Amino acid sequence: PAMATSTRKRKRDAAVKLVPEDQQIFKGLAFYFIPNDDIAPARRIRIRKAQEYGATWTRALKQASHVIVDNSLHWKNIELILSSANGAPSAVLVNETYPLDCIQFRSLLNPNQNQYYVTGCPDLPSKALPSEESAETSHRAESLAYKSVPTNSKRRDYMPPLRTLSRDDEPAEKSNGEEGQEVGSGSPQHRPSTFTRDSTVEQRDPSDRERGTKFDSLSVRRDDELAEYISQMQQLRGLPLEEEEGGAGHHDASEQAEAAEADSEDDDRSQKKQKTSRSGNRKNITWEDRFACHGARTKDGHQGNPNARTIEILQQMCDYYSRINDTWRPIAYRKAISLLKQQRTKITTAHEAVRLPGIGTRLADKIEEIVATDRLQRLDNAAHDPADEALQLFLQIYGVGSTQAARWVAQGYRTLDDLRERARLSANQRLGIDHFDDLNTRIPRREVEALAAVVRGTAVKVDADMHLIVGGSYRRGAESSGDIDFILTKPGTSSVSELRPLLRGLTQALEAQGFLVATLVGTRHERGEGGRTWQGCCVLPSSMASDAAAAADGSGAPSTPTRSRPIWRRIDFLAVPETELGAALIYFTGNDIFNRSMRLLASKKGMRLNQHGLYRDVLRGPGRVKFTDGELIEGRDERRIFDILGVQWREPHERWC
């Protein structure tokens, strides 16, 4: 089929159907397109439309009256073409928008308008227009000349002649109070403009009137300035206006991001408030300093923060939007929380909050509401929603995501018993419900160390060279963890296939000891690279569990167990070759905001960072679709990745954002 398609003849284009002759605005003109082909479908349509309105598509630049350049091209891309081809000096250089606008307004427009300039084109002398256009413009100017003022006082449109004040009359008028009140206010700058029609406009250079360009105000009498402006606007009537710089169509990227964190119930309130200006109030910081990885601290570095209460409520709102599967609002809230953690003074007003980069006006209003009332109405409304309470409960079940949890809520389930009795559950979901309390209990740091000791002791028996690192929040120095992440590696390895037998042997040995009690995600060694992970549940031996519980209580002595069985804990193993160890440590240490900031910074610098390494020269297409993986710069050394990205080295316990 592919060969048949490639050898198929191209369908011959239909003949161009010309519009009526009186509508052929391009008649007598020759268009040269850059690129000068009809391969692109959009350009092919523009060429045919120009031909329908009388234009000739020329392949020789010397014969062109107009050179039409694609909007995607820059002046530096076409400068060599124009200089080497020695094109006609009278050719008009415009972008692809010009012929489309001419067709829309059914007339030849002025090509000197800013929206028709080629991007990067230097200021050139006024482009020459064809004689047909000059004749038409001249005819238009003559037709727009002033009509004679009616002299018959009985006619409806009769206007009495206005008296023009000269400079000599001004002092006399100021002294005459009655005349001053009759003509206008006492101050000349507030006096209404009055003028008499004279021959000033007709005496101007005809070429200036034809082009409708700027005029020299010094050559016109002061009392005729308004008449001159009216004359010019009459000549340009019906033509498209140029886009104003910084007008309503211009939006800052931060304003678009601000809409992502807007709440529907706050729209009316926000519209009533005067929008705070942000462009001139932002702190002057470099773009690199805006990344959270540059401002990371220790876990205790944020204690005593004056914005602690604001951060707490915003975090609850962030968690709520994450539960309901909102895409953009959690990102905006996480960014605001990270910024507030770095502040040494309390942010109390919306004006102060909006000055922080990345905080919009609506989120700034919420910060002001929290400071003033110690609560947030939007959060209170969400907390009293029964469906949200069930959603929070279901999301804590292992193997349940936001989509599945929302589906159960929609089906009317509200408790774990409802799911056990009526819902169709997978094996992992049923395990997550049966051990719900265990898997949602934080693991004390002392217990993590006890679990790690059991794993390392077994690993030595499997392979003495095997190296195990506990990642996650434990590596950052947290007092407790949600689960335990082990990074398994071995010196001299460069691929996962070399580590897969070690991972399989370690898990089998731990299962034989009764340490691993459930397999949630196996190694799947038959699926190639998919065999790098193992996820499941583990339990401590009874003696070690008692010691860990005593240490967690702070008593130092074993306490009476309150459970008849050991507590189940979540445990994950990840096989990482030594060549990728540095990138994997960054990825599996966190926290998530720090990791996202590092990856975003790498992307802004034209690189790509993931758990395998740091890459450069990554080729991407529209929508950031990755075409090539790029060239690996560094993956082994954690410090070197920081150095390449220009980020100050931070120990694992300093990566709290």
Question: Quick check: helix, strand or coil at residue 441?
Answer: coil
Residues 37 and 136 in one domain: yes
User: In DSSP terms, which residues pair with 535 in a beta bridge?
Assistant: 521, 572
Contact 68, 45 (CB under 8 A): no
The mean pLDDT value for 1-6 works out to: 46
Residues 453 and 570 in one domain: yes
Q: Where are the beta strands (DSSP E) in 83-176?
A: 92-95
Q: How far apart are the first and last CA of the chain?
A: 55
Does position 433 have pLDDT exceeding 70, yes or no? yes
- Best mean pLDDT range from 8-12, 82-86, 576-580: 576-580
Domain count for the chain: 5
pLDDT at 196: 36
CA atoms within a 13 Å half-sphere pointing along the CA-CB vector of 8: 9
Residues 431 and 535 in one domain: no
- Best mean pLDDT range from 11-15, 324-328, 422-426: 422-426
Contact 53, 21 (CB under 8 A): no
pLDDT grade for 121, boundaries at 50, 70 and 90: confident
% of the chain at pLDDT higher than 70 = 65
Answer with the one of 99, 114, 142 that is the final residue of a domain. Answer: 142
The mean pLDDT value for 385-411 works out to: 87
Length of the chain: 657
d(CA 487, CA 452) in angstroms, rounded, equals: 11
Q: Where are the beta strands (DSSP E) in 461-509?
A: 467-470, 480-481, 484-489
Residues 587 and 652 in one domain: yes
Tokens found for residue 84: 């080497």
Residues 335 and 421 in one domain: no
User: Alpha carbon 555 to chain centroid distance?
Assistant: 52
d(CA 558, CA 555) in angstroms, rounded, equals: 8
Residues 472 and 394 in one domain: no
Residue numbers annotated as active site: 366
Residues 445 and 508 in one domain: yes
pLDDT at 449: 95
d(CA 266, CA 366) in angstroms, rounded, equals: 9
CATH of the domain at 298: 1.10.150
pLDDT at 471: 94
pLDDT at 106: 84
Does position 148 have pLDDT exceeding 60, yes or no? no
The mean pLDDT value for 188-192 works out to: 39
More confident residue, 282 or 346: 346
Residue 304 lies in a domain: yes
pLDDT at 178: 40
Residues 259 and 336 in one domain: yes
Residue 185 lies in a domain: no
Query: Cα dist. 605→245, 599, 608, 626, 629 in Å?
Result: 29, 10, 9, 16, 16
Nearest to residue 612, comparing CAs of 643, 579, 637? 579
Name, in order, each residue with C-beta under 8 angstroms of 532's C-beta and a sequence gap of 6 or more: 496, 499, 500, 503, 523, 574, 575, 576
Does position 639 have pLDDT exceeding 90, yes or no? yes
Query: Cα dist. 349→260, 271, 274, 363 in Å?
Result: 21, 18, 14, 11
> pLDDT digits over 240-273, tens only?
433 333 333 333 333 333 334 444 334 434 444 4
Tokens found for residue 395: 């999301």
Q: Which helix (H) or strand (E) holds 456?
A: helix 445-462
Helix and strand numbers (H, E) in the chain are: 28, 14
**Strand pairing report for 484-489 and 516-521:** unpaired
More confident residue, 148 or 130: 148
More confident residue, 360 or 204: 360
Residue 647 lies in a domain: yes
The mean pLDDT value for 623-640 works out to: 88
Residue 171 lies in a domain: no
User: In DSSP terms, which residues pair with 656 in a beta bridge?
Assistant: 297
User: Alpha carbon 155 to chain centroid distance?
Assistant: 63
Does position 169 have pLDDT exceeding 50, yes or no? no
pLDDT grade for 593, boundaries at 50, 70 and 90: confident
Nearest to residue 395, comparing CAs of 420, 429, 352? 429
Residue 655 lies in a domain: yes
pLDDT at 548: 55
Tokens found for residue 364: 């700034």
d(CA 653, CA 297) in angstroms, rounded, equals: 8
Tokens found for residue 184: 């206008």
pLDDT at 226: 54
Does position 380 have pLDDT exceeding 80, yes or no? yes
pLDDT grade for 168, boundaries at 50, 70 and 90: very low
Residues 431 and 460 in one domain: no
Q: Which of 180-184, 207-211, 226-230, 459-463 has the lowest mean pLDDT?
A: 180-184
The mean pLDDT value for 325-349 works out to: 87
Does position 378 have pLDDT exceeding 80, yes or no? yes
Tokens found for residue 587: 């990825």
pLDDT grade for 111, boundaries at 50, 70 and 90: confident
d(CA 25, CA 13) in angstroms, rounded, equals: 23
Does position 305 have pLDDT exceeding 60, yes or no? yes
d(CA 158, CA 154) in angstroms, rounded, equals: 7
pLDDT at 263: 40
Does position 197 have pLDDT exceeding 90, yes or no? no
Does position 75 have pLDDT exceeding 50, yes or no? yes
Name, in order, each residue with C-beta under 8 angstroms of 350's C-beta and a sequence gap of 6 or more: 276, 361, 364, 365, 367, 368
> pLDDT digits over 382-393, tens only?
877 777 888 889
Q: Domain residues for 476? A: 441-554+565-576
d(CA 122, CA 118) in angstroms, rounded, equals: 9
pLDDT at 176: 42
Does position 589 have pLDDT exceeding 80, yes or no? yes
% of the chain at pLDDT higher than 90 = 34
Contact 569, 539 (CB under 8 A): yes
CATH of the domain at 594: 3.30.210.10
d(CA 227, CA 195) in angstroms, rounded, equals: 8
Residue 325 gets the label, from left (phi > 0), alpha (psi -120 to 50) or beta, of: left
pLDDT grade for 454, boundaries at 50, 70 and 90: very high
* Amino acid making up residue 270: S
Residue 34 lies in a domain: yes
Does position 481 have pLDDT exceeding 50, yes or no? yes
pLDDT grade for 185, boundaries at 50, 70 and 90: very low
* Cα radius of gyration (the chain): 37
> pLDDT digits over 527-580, tens only?
444 578 999 999 988 766 655 555 555 544 344 444 457 899 999 999 999 999
Q: Mean pLDDT over all residues of the chain?
A: 74
Contact 654, 295 (CB under 8 A): no
Residues 572 and 584 in one domain: no
User: Alpha carbon 133 to chain centroid distance?
Assistant: 44
CATH of the domain at 428: 1.10.150.20
d(CA 36, CA 374) in angstroms, rounded, equals: 66
pLDDT grade for 131, boundaries at 50, 70 and 90: very low
Residue 393 lies in a domain: yes
Contact 485, 473 (CB under 8 A): no
pLDDT at 61: 84
Contact 67, 82 (CB under 8 A): yes
Residues 542 and 639 in one domain: no
d(CA 570, CA 162) in angstroms, rounded, equals: 93
CATH of the domain at 537: 3.30.460.10
pLDDT at 294: 62
pLDDT at 84: 64
Residue 614 lies in a domain: yes
d(CA 87, CA 81) in angstroms, rounded, equals: 9
The mean pLDDT value for 416-440 works out to: 93
pLDDT grade for 628, boundaries at 50, 70 and 90: confident
Query: Cα dist. 141→42, 104, 231, 579 in Å?
Result: 36, 21, 9, 76
Residues 430 and 457 in one domain: no
Residue 350's Cβ-count burial label (10 Å; 0-12, 13-18, 19+) is: buried
d(CA 141, CA 224) in angstroms, rounded, equals: 19
Answer with the one of 90, 110, 142 that is the final residue of a domain. Answer: 142
Does position 9 have pLDDT exceeding 70, yes or no? no
The mean pLDDT value for 3-20 works out to: 64
